[in-house]
Amino acid sequence: MRPTLQTVADTVGVSRSTVSNAYSRPDQLSPELRARILAAATALGYAGPDPAARSLRKRRAGAIGVLFTATLSYAFTDPYAVQFLRGLAGSAEQARTGLLLLPLSIDDEAAAVGAVNDAVVDGFCVYCMPDWHPALDAVQARGLPVASGQRREGDGPLNAFVGIDEAAATRSAGEHLVALGHRRVAIVGDDLSVARVTGPARLASPADIGYYTSRERLRGYQEALAAAGVGWSSISTVNVAGNGRADGAEAAGYLLDRAPRPTAIAALSDILALGVLDALRERGLRPGHDVSVVGFDDIPEAAADGLTTVHQPAAERGRRSGQLLLDPPTDPADRTVVLPTKLVVRASTGPAPS
Amino acid sequence: MRPTLQTVADTVGVSRSTVSNAYSRPDQLSPELRARILAAATALGYAGPDPAARSLRKRRAGAIGVLFTATLSYAFTDPYAVQFLRGLAGSAEQARTGLLLLPLSIDDEAAAVGAVNDAVVDGFCVYCMPDWHPALDAVQARGLPVASGQRREGDGPLNAFVGIDEAAATRSAGEHLVALGHRRVAIVGDDLSVARVTGPARLASPADIGYYTSRERLRGYQEALAAAGVGWSSISTVNVAGNGRADGAEAAGYLLDRAPRPTAIAALSDILALGVLDALRERGLRPGHDVSVVGFDDIPEAAADGLTTVHQPAAERGRRSGQLLLDPPTDPADRTVVLPTKLVVRASTGPAPS
DNA sequence: GCGGCGTACTGTATCGATTTAGAACCGTTC
DNA sequence: GAACGGTTCTAAATCGATACAGTACGCCGC
């Protein structure tokens, strides 16, 4: 039989509470008694207070749940994700809290809901999930604080939003392209699937996309181009399998090897944009001259490759998400944080070739 | 007052157990009653069985703890780490288990020990920790299954080892360099600190290093070079602050800009080795001709840059670690897994310049 | 000799579920 | 009327700890 606080208390001849104090509040008992108790505990093979029991009693889990749909490998290939997690981990560490990664299956929805319901956490951070995923409803049902970068119908009053104005960000990027004379623009993204269907489907409208981030970013481009008289139907969109450099290159290949070639390619992440640049180089095309390329995120590699992109404060998003989660402000107004973004123009964009 | 199983049971007029069954074992009660119970639960705002209480009762946490010392950002900049975690997450997902990331401070040891003791987990996976860190003792004291890639004194009988023969791996790399005529060899690593001291200290012997992995890898090089008559004292070692490409470049700069220049630089990770290659290019030196470079891990980028390196199965290490953790074999012999490594010779190594 | 006070410890209630043994009832048959 | 094997549900025990009110006791000053 496994030893518990009671076992230790009985052998030493003190009460359970005193043994508890010996571990958690050393100032509440004499050093001698404490030493005796700890000695008895090691003699009995008692490993110290059970975290699960403590967690139940204290009503604190000491962890926040981070929801992903992507496989971890995809999630972490993106420096943006790493920076975000870094910020989140920083806040968590300050609050003596761990990060419980919950990689949720997109297909097995029951398993995903189960994982959410079983998670011993003090709150959830939604990282990148399609709006329709039932795990998000499960998160709401838990009634815990939630921090998310995606707005969604059915979000409860405890929800915090920490994000950026995604559409405004890409609108500024789109206006930049328009000002340079670009009218034949293509968009590459990795979460462009419509509702629950995956694959390179032709999109009727950005509004159909299941992922908030992609939907909003696409909307921004749509608006900027529409203002220049470029209709949605004349914009090519390519949905790729994952957020990898090779995926971006593959998508670009698809666009570049067909006529008419777009004069500008907008990628919804820098990783994809860097892949697009790879594809250009491979074909002897000059970025910013033959084809302009825009990314999103402004990861460190973007500066090195001269990529025009939208800067967003990744680590800060994570940090603020953690704060709002671990110490939710009472005033609902304080639970919405919209961080600034900035278009960073570099060499990868230039006037449209005539 | 927050509703519990009891609250729901009282309003419906059934017992607590029946409400529990309504959630966890639907086959144990009639569908009508179940529907009534669930309706009452939502009416009361009951969010479903509390995971902490369930965890206490079931004696299962549904998570495994992953120990790091590095900050998350460093941990995830390395594709090796990402691959390892991917494998681990795969095993975890199959067992319906999450990953609790515990980024432990090196300095604040009490906080690190506290984090380990408070972690609601079913086991621990030690990723990269110095041998002397008290958190490792805390892990042992918890009495849970542990999977580790580092052997260490004081490891309990439940410990599983999943790793590679680190020394043999670098010995083969060292022999390769020796066969090419290299005698002036430098080594770059990021965890070469002696015991608890950090900084670019001159090492008396590899055996002093606090990190198992670095220690063993260094030992392999030492043995290979010693066999060729090259003593430890004539090998330069450079300890860098983090496992980043820029760190590798900086360390290489230190080595290359001084006479006598080493004819070969061995890095203890590919990320560092790629940085070394950057530094060579910057100085107009040709890898494999002017200076040979060897890495470790064989991450995807290594192949693209023609880096000679030691391949190790990163994802497989993670996967096996997860398996051994979640379903520990009774036979101790099955708790040691040594995976194969392979020297991959590419263009970055060549004959030593005469 | 008594009230006041601080220290060191105890006892009980509580956290919110799961598990288990067993009660009540089903229609049928000896 | 009781024993059959089977469901559906109940009551009590269990999981392992923490919070908090309360008590015993020594010591102080008057």
pLDDT in tens, A168-184: 999 999 999 999 999 99
Residue B125 phi/psi, 5-degree rounding, is: -120, 120
Q: Work out the number of other CB atoms within 10 angstroms of the CB of residue B333.
A: 6
Q: What is the pLDDT of residue A190?
A: 84
pLDDT above 50 for A199:
no
Q: pLDDT category, A50, cuts 50, 70, 90?
A: very high
Beta bridge partners of A64: A99
**Predicted local distance difference test score (pLDDT) of residue A193:** 67
Q: Give the chain A residue whose CA is nearest to the CA of B96.
A: A115
Structural fold of domain B5-49: 434 Repressor (Amino-terminal Domain) (1.10.260)
Cross-chain residue pair A86–B101, CB shorter than 8 Å: no
Which nt is closest to the CA of A28, judged by C1'? C8
Cβ-defined contact of A119 to B48 (cutoff 8 Å): no
How confident is the model over A258-317, as pLDDT tens digits? 889 999 999 999 999 999 999 999 999 999 999 999 999 999 999 999 999 999 999 999
Chain B partners of A91 at a C-beta cutoff of 8 Å? Answer: none
Q: What angle do CA A205, A210, A213 make, to 5 degrees?
A: 90
Q: What is the mean pLDDT of residues A63-83?
A: 83
- For the A63-164+315-338 domain, the top CATH level (class) is alpha beta
Same fold, B63-164+315-338 and B166-312: yes
Residue corresponding to tokens 């999109």: A203
pLDDT of B156? 78
A98 contacts on B by Cβ (under 8 Å)? 65, 100-102, 115, 119
Q: Is the confidence at residue B330, as pLDDT, over 80?
A: yes
Strand C and B16 CB separated by under 7 Å: yes
Find where tokens 């011993």 sit. A120
Q: Calculate how close chain B gets to A309, using CA atoms only, in Å.
A: 21
How many CB atoms are located within 10 Å of the residue A238 CB? 22
pLDDT, tens digit, 9 for 90 and up, residues B90-115: 999 889 899 999 988 888 899 999 99
Q: Is B100–A63 a contact, with Cβ atoms under 8 angstroms apart?
A: yes
Which of B46, B54, B58, B73 is best to mutate for the A interface (most A CBs within 10 A)? B73
pLDDT of residue A154: 77
List the nucleotides on chain C closer than 7 A to a protein CB: 8-21
Residue B103's DSSP bridge partners are B68
Name which of B72, B96, B117 is nearest A115 (Cβ-Cβ): B96
Cα–Cα dist B190/B244, whole Å? 9
How many CB pairs below 8 Å do chains A and B form together?
Answer: 132
Q: At what angle do helices A270-282 and A79-94 cross, to 10 degrees?
A: 160
- Check if residue A15 sits with its Cβ under 7 angstroms from strand C: yes
pLDDT band, very low/low/confident/very high, at A206 (cuts 50, 70, 90): confident
Question: What local confidence, expressed as pLDDT, does residue B74 receive?
Answer: 74
User: pLDDT-based confidence at B125, cuts 50/70/90?
Assistant: very high
Phi, psi of A265 (to 5 degrees): -125, 125
Instruction: Characterise B193 by phi-psi region: left (phi > 0), alpha (psi -120 to 50), beta (else).
Output: beta
The helix (H) or strand (E) run that includes residue A38 is helix A31-44
**Domain positions in chain A:** 5-49, 63-164+315-338, 166-312
Burial of B116 (0-12, 13-18, 19+ CB in 10 A): buried
Q: Return chain A residues 245..304 having CB < 7 Å to nucleic acid strand D.
A: none
Name the nucleotide with the smallest C1'–CA separation from B59. Answer: D15
Q: What is the pTM of this model?
A: 0.90
Question: Which of the following CATH numbers is that of domain A166-312: 3.30.830.10, 3.40.50.1460, 3.40.50.970, 3.40.50.2300?
Answer: 3.40.50.2300
A120 touches strand C (CB under 7 A): no
Q: Extract the tokens encoding B96.
A: 């319906």
Strand D closer than 7 Å to the CB of A28?
no
